[in-house]
């Protein structure tokens, strides 16, 4: 990798970090704005690895930086604070020669016309190289720092999962595997790089090594999709049968909609309140050769879109904190606030309540989230069951996770999958 190219990749990673941590943008959005300018795919990969990595370790890297600095940086020098985190991350975690990590970080400070910061970064990074074990020992004794979580989230995980929280927070900082879903309708055998099936997950294949979808012709051919194995259980729990009418109430970008359609010939209404995101449902269905009616609308206000024909089954994949998928979206740790949780709960309760009357007697509603917080999962179903005597919670038999009250909770990293919650309610 030439020096200039690698400086560009680091500069792009710094832009992403500033967008996420400084301006509250999502990591996906930030990467989408910087990656196209990097021509070399190796640079794009390096930039992504840096941005994901620093967000995973952000609190720990910040503590290391502050430990190494004589006086804290001013808030207007947040770019330099993050630049030092980028340098530290390369020295601590990445397979980058130490001299390159230091010299490239220094070069980046010069590029930002902050010569003072170049000197400072050089001194801090060199000291880290010399004193790594001592400096790490000084910050790693607090789990919230060692595993880079905001205090409020760690506290919730500890309260909710007293026996499991250590494994859970360690899993949240790992790199997730790339998991594919075979299109059950496709007759062609997909040509794929080495991949392993997952016992208990009918359509899942885990690639030995992640690759860009552009390098998987089977993706464009509609033979495979990219979807975590835990998310693939939605189709199992819903268990839609041929001829039934199905509502996918929060459908975009359509991963679960498509999976349900791949499994059975059903009449599907894919609803989402976000028109732009609903477009991605349409393009996914087109790529896979599947058909559904799509509708922009608020699932909590059925009068504005429902034709009064009750559904056999409803999937409510509710908007949630995403605390189960932090390993794929480490920006969640820094973008979510504790106050979001109560607001998300109100939304989850509202949607569940509004959709229940749309179900036929005997029909099933599946409530799902990619959260590992009780507040968004059992607490929602407990409250719902207390108010709805015509609902029975069905026993689930999933290949992973544990029964919790009315549903089943999968914790991030169990059998290598994302954190998810499923409950299946039948109407009497
Ligand atoms: C967890 S995502 C759904 C993921 C999707 N089921 C999949 O598997 O690809 C939640 C979705 O709910 C949508 N949403 C949020 N509030 C909504 C509402 N009140 N009505 C309909 N859709 C809503 C969001 O736009 C978002 O696309």
Residue 308: pLDDT above 70?
A: yes
State the average pLDDT for the chain. Answer: 96
Of 366, 386, 231, the closest CA to residue 311 belongs to 366
Q: Which atom of ligand 1 is nearest to the CA of 300?
A: 19
d(CA 241, CA 370): 25
User: For the chain, how far is it from start to end, CA to CA, in angstroms?
Assistant: 64
pLDDT at 4: 62
- Beta-carbon contacts of 395 under 8 Å, excluding residues fewer than 6 positions away, are 403
d(CA 227, CA 256): 9
Beginning with the edge strand found earlier in the chain, give each strand of the sheet holding 179-182 in spatial order: 195-198, 201-207, 179-182, 224-226
pLDDT one-digit tens code per residue, 340-357: 999 999 999 999 999 999
> Is the CB of 274 inside a 6 Å radius of any atom of ligand 1?
yes
What residue spans define the domains of the chain? 3-148, 177-227, 229-427
Helix (H) or strand (E) segment spanning residue 366: strand 359-369
Residue nearest to atom 27 of ligand 1 (CA): 252
pLDDT at 187: 87
- Say yes or no: domain 177-227 is CATH 3.30.70: yes
pLDDT one-digit tens code per residue, 129-182: 999 999 999 999 999 999 999 999 999 999 999 999 999 999 999 999 999 999
d(CA 322, CA 21): 17
Q: Tell me what percent of the residues of the chain surpass a pLDDT of 70.
A: 99
C-alpha of residue 425 to centroid of ligand 1, in Å: 19
pLDDT at 298: 98
pLDDT at 258: 98
pLDDT at 157: 98
Residue 271: pLDDT above 80?
A: yes
d(CA 106, CA 118): 5
> How many helical (H) and strand (E) elements, i.e. helices and strands, does the chain have?
18, 13
Phi, then psi, of 112 in degrees rounded to 5 = -90, 10
- 207, β-bridge pairs: 195
Which CATH code for domain 229-427?
3.40.50.150
Which of 297, 306, 319, 344 most suits a substitution to test ligand 1, by most atoms within 8 Å of the C-beta?
319
Q: Which atom of ligand 1 is nearest to the CA of 298?
A: 20
> Is the CB of 252 inside a 6 Å radius of any atom of ligand 1?
yes
d(CA 71, CA 7): 27
User: Looking at the whole model, is its pTM more than 0.75?
Assistant: yes
pLDDT one-digit tens code per residue, 76-132: 999 999 999 999 999 999 999 999 999 999 999 999 999 999 999 999 999 999 999
d(CA 107, CA 110): 5
Residue 2: pLDDT above 60?
A: no
C-alpha of residue 83 to centroid of ligand 1, in Å: 35
Question: What topology is assigned to 3-148 in CATH?
Answer: N-utilizing Substance Protein B Homolog; Chain A (1.10.940)
How many residues does the structure list for the chain?
428
E strands within 46-194? 179-182
Q: Chain centroid to CA 204: how far?
A: 18
> Is the CB of 299 inside a 6 Å radius of any atom of ligand 1?
yes
pLDDT at 203: 97
Residue 364, CA distances (Å) to 136, 137, 392 in order: 51, 52, 9
pLDDT at 89: 98
> Is the CB of 17 inside a 6 Å radius of any atom of ligand 1?
no
Of 233, 230, 300, the closest CA to residue 272 belongs to 300
């Amino acid at each position: 990798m030439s020096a200039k190219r690698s400086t560009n990749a680091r500069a792009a990673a710094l832009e992403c970090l500033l967008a996420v941590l400084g301006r509250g943008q999502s990591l996906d959005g930030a990467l989408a704005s910087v990656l196209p300018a990097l021509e070399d795919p190796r640079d794009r990969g390096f930039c992504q690895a840096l941005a994901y990595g620093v967000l995973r370790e952000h609190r720990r890297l910040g503590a290391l930086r502050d430990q190494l600095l004589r006086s804290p940086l001013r808030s207007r020098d947040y770019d330099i604070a993050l630049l030092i985190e980028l340098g530290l991350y390369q020295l601590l975690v990445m397979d980058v020669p130490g001299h390159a990590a230091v010299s490239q970080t220094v070069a980046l400070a010069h590029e930002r016309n902050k010569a003072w910061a170049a000197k400072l970064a050089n001194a801090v990074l060199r000291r880290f190289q010399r004193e790594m074990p001592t400096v790490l020992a000084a910050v790693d004794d607090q789990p919230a720092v060692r595993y880079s979580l905001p205090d409020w989230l760690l506290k919730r995980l500890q309260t909710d999962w007293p026996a499991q929280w250590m494994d859970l927070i360690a899993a949240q900082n790992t790199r997730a595997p790339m998991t594919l879903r075979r299109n059950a309708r496709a007759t062609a055998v997909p040509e794929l790089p080495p991949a392993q099936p997952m016992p208990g997950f009918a359509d899942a294949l885990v690639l030995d090594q992640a690759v860009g979808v552009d390098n998987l012709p089977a993706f464009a051919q509609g033979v495979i999709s990219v979807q975590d194995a835990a998310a693939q259980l939605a189709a199992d729990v819903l268990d839609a049968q041929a001829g039934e009418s199905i509502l996918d109430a929060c459908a975009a970008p359509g991963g679960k909609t498509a999976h349900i359609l791949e499994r059975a010939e059903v009449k599907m209404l894919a609803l989402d309140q976000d028109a732009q995101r609903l477009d991605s449902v349409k393009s996914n269905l087109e790529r896979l050769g599947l058909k559904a009616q799509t509708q922009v609308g608020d699932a909590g206000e059925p009068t504005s879109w429902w034709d009064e024909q009750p559904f056999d089954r409803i999937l409510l994949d509710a908007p949630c904190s995403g605390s189960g998928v932090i390993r794929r979206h480490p920006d969640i740790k820094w973008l979510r606030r504790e106050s979001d949780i109560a607001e998300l709960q109100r939304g989850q309760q509202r949607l569940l309540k509004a959709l229940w009357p749309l179900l036929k007697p005997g029909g099933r509603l599946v409530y799902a989230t990619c959260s590992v917080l009780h507040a968004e999962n059992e607490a929602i179903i407990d409250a719902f069951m207390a108010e709805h005597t015509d609902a029975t919670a069905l026993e689930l038999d999933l290949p992973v996770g544990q029964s919790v009250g009315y549903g089943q909770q999968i914790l991030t990293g169990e059998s290598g999958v994302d954190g998810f919650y499923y409950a299946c309610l039948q109407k009497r």
